[in-house]
A = this chain, B = another copy of it.
Amino acid sequence: MSTELRDLMKTAPLHQQIAETIRGEIQTGSLPTGSRLPSEHALAQRFGVSRGTIRQARASLRADGTIAGSQGRRLAVNRPQLTQSLTELLSFSAWTESLGKTPTSIVIESGVTGADEECAEMLELQTGSTVFHVTRVRLADNAPLMIERTAFAPVLIEPLSTIDLADSSIYAELDKHGISVASARHLLSAFAATKVDARHLGLTTGAPLLRVQRVGYSLHGEPLEWSDDRYRGDQINFGIENSSVVSGVVRRMSNQEN
């Protein structure tokens, strides 16, 4: 029944605590990469729980790629993964801070405008609908890394009007209003810097930029924001980790034919 464990940390469910414990053992090296995990039976005895609970814990470790295996064989510990929370991926501020650098912004332009065709399609609005538009240069330790052009859905105009766009994380501020981006779609491509891009990023026109176009959605699937972010190609890259189990990435051809 594992009363000891249950008493220690009452909040989290058992299977989650067990998953965390195993994750910890992998991180400290007691379970090195390539080694095999104890059997489900052994783990069930060790933690004093049923096999079902162990399987739940292992499901979460499999889902994030920490372990892998197949029927009849003991599960193996994988290489450590490089993953980042969605918040860090979306928020330049959160990401920069997680690297120990100071994020700043220069607001080039902001205000309410009518949505152009592309923006309207992405935000699932009528062309010309009122959106809140912001163009910012984002810097880490005062070095310009990215230029960001974002349009926010009409429902966000009200809360956004009270935010200081220059130095705060928009996501952190929206969070306080109970609004958060639960999922997103990103489109990565290579792009030649325009004159404007180049000037703001300290590059020459035509320099290669990594372009990330993205739509952020609420928990209910409503589009909240549409953004065109252009990163200095010489400074930023994106890492993607896939296993044959989990794969959320797609290579696509641009639609300039047929």
Contact = CB atoms under 8 A, between A and B. Distances in A.
10 nearest A-B residue pairs (beta carbon): A190-B233, A189-B237, A208-B208, A190-B208, A190-B210, A186-B240, A183-B243, A190-B190, A239-B250, A188-B238
A191 B188 contact: no
Nearest to A204: B206
Interface of A: 33-34, 59, 63-65, 68, 76, 78-79, 81-89, 95, 99, 140, 145, 182-192, 206-211, 217, 219-221, 231, 233-244, 246-254, 256
B233 A240 contact: no
Contact of A233 (B59, B186, B192): B192
A34 B145 CA distance: 37
A223 to B, nearest CB: 10
Nearest to A101: B253
Contacts of A234: 254, 256
Given A33-B221, A63-B63, A239 B86 contact: no
Given A76-B221, A208-B233, A244 B85 contact: yes
B250 A236 contact: no
Given A183-B65, A208-B208, A236-B189, A95 B243 contact: no
A210 B63 CA distance: 29
Given A190-B190, A254-B235, A247 B83 contact: yes
Copies of this chain held together in the complex: 2
Contacts of A183: 65, 68, 78, 241-244
Contacts of A206: 206, 208
6 contacts: A34-B221, A65-B183, A83-B249, A186-B240, A236-B252, A237-B251
B236 A253 contact: yes
A83 B95 CA distance: 25
Given A86-B243, A192-B208, A246-B246, 12 more contacts: A34-B220, A65-B248, A68-B219, A78-B183, A79-B217, A81-B248, A88-B251, A99-B253, A182-B243, A183-B242, A185-B241, A234-B254
A248 to B, nearest CB: 5
Given A183-B243, A247-B86, A191 B220 contact: no
A129 B182 CA distance: 46
Contact of A76 (B33, B88, B220): B220
